Amino acid sequence: MLLGVQPFGVFSLWGCAASAGRRSSVAPFVMRGKQRMNGLREAEAIFGATLRAAAFFTRLSISGRHFKSRGETAAGKSPGNRDGEIGGARTSGASPAAPYRLGDDAHAFPLVGLIAAAPAAILLLVLPAAGLSPLVCGILALAALVAMTGALHEDGLADVADGLFGHQPRERALEIMHDSRVGSYGAIALILSLGLRAALLAELCASSPLLAACAVLAAGAAARGAMAAFWALTPSALDSGLAARAGQPSRSRGRASLIVGLAIGLGLALPVAGPGSAIVAILVPTLVLVMFRRFILRRIGGQTGDCLGAAEQLCEMAVLLVLAATV
C-alpha cells in the first residue's frame, strides 16, 4: 500500500511476466514443429504425385489409395492398348469416381524419369563387372529402360514420324498419328532411336560404367522435365485427345518441372562428366525442345500425346549424345 500497489497486483504482474517468458521460450519450438509438419506434408504430396505419375509413365502397379487421397481415379488407356497417347495408370484396389488429371502432377515427372531409368543404371554398373562387352551392356540397359515404360514414348515417336514426315495435310497427319499401326517412317525412327541410344550407352559404358549409369539417370530426369514444359507451353492440337483430357499442366508447373529436371541432370552429370559437358548436356534438350515445338506448331498447330513422347525421346537422345561426345 505504501507504493500504491496492492499485494495481489504485484503477484499478478509477476505471474504475467513469467507466463510471457514461458510463451517466448516455447514459441520457437512451436514454430519449428509447424515447419516440420509443413515439410512432411510437402514431402508426402511430392511422393504421392510421383507415384501417380509413375502409374502412367511406367509399368509399375500403384495402389489406388494414392489416387483416393485426391478423390480421383486413374483414368486412361489399358496397359495393352497402343492407341492411347499418354498412357494408362496401372492401379490396384478400388478407385473413386472423379477422373485423374495427370497435368496436376507434372512437377513430379523428373522423379518418374529417375524411377524409369533406375534399372538401366543398375545394369550399366553391374554387367561390366560380369565381363560383358560395352555393346551388350548398352543393349541390355536399353531393353530394361524400354521395359520399364512399356515403350510408351517410343510409340509416340513412331506415330509422330509417320504422321508428320509424310507431307500430308494437317487432318490426314493427325489421322495417321492416331493409327496404331507403324509405317515406314515410324519404323525407321524406332530403329534410329534404339540403335543410337544403345550405341551411346555402349560408348559411355566403355569410358566408365559409373558415367553411363549417371548419364542414363540424368537423361531420364532432364527429358521428363522438358516434356512437362513442352506440354505446358504448347497448345493442344486436338480438343478430344488424351493429352487434352489428361489436363494440361499450368505454365508454372511446366517451368518448375523443367528446372527440377535440369537441376537433377546437372547434379548427376557434374561429378562424372565435368562442368563443361554437364552444362551443355542439360542445355541442349531445351534447344531441341524449342526447335521441335516450332516444327509441330507449323505442321499441326499444337501438341498431342504422341508429340509428348517424341519430345521425351529427342531430349533423351540429345543428353546422351552430348555426354558421349564431350567426355
Q: Tell me, what's the pLDDT at 168? A: 87
Whether residue 112 lies inside any domain: the answer is: yes
Tell me the three cell numbers of residue 159. 506415330
Residue 238 and residue 248 in contact, taking contact as beta carbons nearer than 8 Å:
no
Tell me the three cell numbers of residue 101. 488429371
Whether residue 316 lies inside any domain: the answer is: yes
Whether residue 120 lies inside any domain: the answer is: yes
Tell me the three cell numbers of residue 22. 514461458
Whether residue 94 lies inside any domain: the answer is: no
DSSP 71: T
Q: Tell me, what's the pLDDT at 75? A: 44
Distance CA(166)–CA(22), nearest Å, equals: 76
Query: Cα dihedral angle (9, 14, 18, 21), rounded to 10 degrees?
Result: 100
Whether residue 279 lies inside any domain: the answer is: yes
| Among 313, 8, 296, 316, residue whose Cα is nearest residue 163 | 296
What is the extent of the structural domain holding 254?
A: 103-326
Q: Tell me, what's the pLDDT at 40? A: 74
Query: Cα dihedral angle (25, 26, 28, 29), rounded to 10 degrees?
Result: 140
What amino acid occupies position 255? R
Q: CA dist 305 to 156, 252, 292, Å?
A: 7, 20, 14
Q: Looking at the 3D structure of the chain, how many domains does it have?
A: 1
What amino acid occupies position 153? H
Tell me the three cell numbers of residue 110. 523428373
Whether residue 256 lies inside any domain: the answer is: yes
What amino acid occupies position 9? G
Whether residue 58 lies inside any domain: the answer is: no
Q: Tell me, what's the pLDDT at 220? A: 96
Tell me the three cell numbers of residue 11. 503477484
Distance of CA 43 to the CA centre of its chain: 17
Whether residue 51 lies inside any domain: the answer is: no
Ordered per-residue pLDDT tens for the chain, 327 residues? 444 445 445 445 445 545 555 555 555 655 666 666 666 777 878 888 889 889 889 988 776 655 555 545 544 433 333 344 444 444 444 444 456 778 889 999 999 999 999 999 999 999 999 999 999 999 999 999 999 999 999 999 999 999 998 888 999 999 898 888 898 999 999 999 999 999 999 999 999 999 999 999 999 999 999 999 999 999 988 776 666 667 788 899 999 999 999 999 999 999 888 899 999 998 888 899 999 999 999 999 999 989 999 999 999 999 999 999 987
Residue 241 burial class via C-beta count within 10 angstroms: exposed 0-12, middle 13-18, buried 19 and up: buried
Residue 108 and residue 200 in contact, taking contact as beta carbons nearer than 8 Å:
no
Residue 270 burial class via C-beta count within 10 angstroms: exposed 0-12, middle 13-18, buried 19 and up: middle
Q: What is the number of other CB atoms lying within 10 angstroms of the CB of residue 257? A: 28
Predicted TM-score (pTM) of the model is 0.79
